[in-house]
Amino acid sequence: MNIFRLLGDLAHLASIFILVHKMHTTRSCRGISFKTQALYVLVFLTRYIDLLYTWISLYNFVMKVFFISSSGYILYLMKYRFRPTHDPSLDTFKVEYLVGPCFVLALIFNYRFEVTEILWTFSIYLEAVAIFPQLFMMQRTGEAETITTHYLAALGAYRALYIPNWIYRYFTEGTVDPIAVVAGIVQTGLYLDFFYVYVTKVLQGQKFELPA
């Protein structure tokens, strides 16, 4: 564990708290893509299946259980509690285009051809692109509530912070996880456009609006 990874994990935790807080205070899930949130549940379930047979640390265990349960809770909020505030006509990205190719890629590019290993690899690839429905939705509406942008900034910062973590681990432990690194760089890259608008607009007190 190094500082970059810890900060990354804390940013990930923060993103979830921001999202849940937004939904509770506004009593709404407006502007949030149900599809992206559902993909995160799939990501966590396929990646953390090792909870059943591997013990890494208490930290690792608690975080995994938290990510699985909080992502399930968010789906519950969107599907039941605040269902009327979700507009499926804006959330139209086809998730098949993400899930299918990620699964095929996981079958081809993996460390071992084993069920759990392929599921882990699939989860890494899927996480990298799971934000697409959310970004697509914002592209369609051309705007986002400020609190939603804070959620996205924290979520993007999480994977961005894993990059210095991997560099640090390469020099201190000599370990490289090419699948995680390549997917993590792609994942972070997808946020660059968003980060630019976030820093130049939202952090200056302006509304998040995309050019028409």
Partner 1 sequence: DQGNAVHDEL
Site for partner 1 in 69-108 (CB under 8 A): none
Asked if residue 81 lies in contact with residue 34, where contact means CB atoms within 8 angstroms, the answer is no
User: Which tokens sit at 115?
Assistant: 């069920």
Choosing from 22, 35, 47, 86, the residue that interacts with partner 1 (CB under 8 A) is 47
Q: Check: CB of residue 204 under 8 Å from CB of residue 137.
A: no
* 143-144/208-209 β-pairing: antiparallel
Q: Report the residue number, 145 or 177, with the smaller CB distance to partner 1.
A: 177
Stretch that binds partner 1, among 31-39, 59-67, 94-102, 143-151 (CB under 8 A): 59-67
Q: Residue 200: helix, strand or coil by DSSP? A: helix
130-159 residues in contact with partner 1 (CB under 8 A) are none
Site for partner 1 in 167-186 (CB under 8 A): 177-178, 180
Identify which of 198, 187, 190, 188 has the alpha carbon closest to the alpha carbon of residue 149. Answer: 198
Quick one: 54 or 139, whose CB is closer to partner 1? 54
CA distance 29 to 172: 43
Report, in Å, the least distance between residue 13 CB and partner 1.
10
Identified binder of partner 1 from the candidate list 76, 111, 170, 196, rule CB under 8 A: 111
54: alpha, beta or left? (left if phi > 0; alpha if psi -120 to 50):
beta
- For residue 54, give the amino acid letter: T
Number of residues that bind partner 1 (CB under 8 A): 21
Question: In the complex, which residues of this chain contact partner 1 (CB under 8 A)?
Answer: 5, 9, 12, 47, 50, 54, 56-57, 60, 63-64, 67, 111-112, 117, 120, 162, 165, 177-178, 180
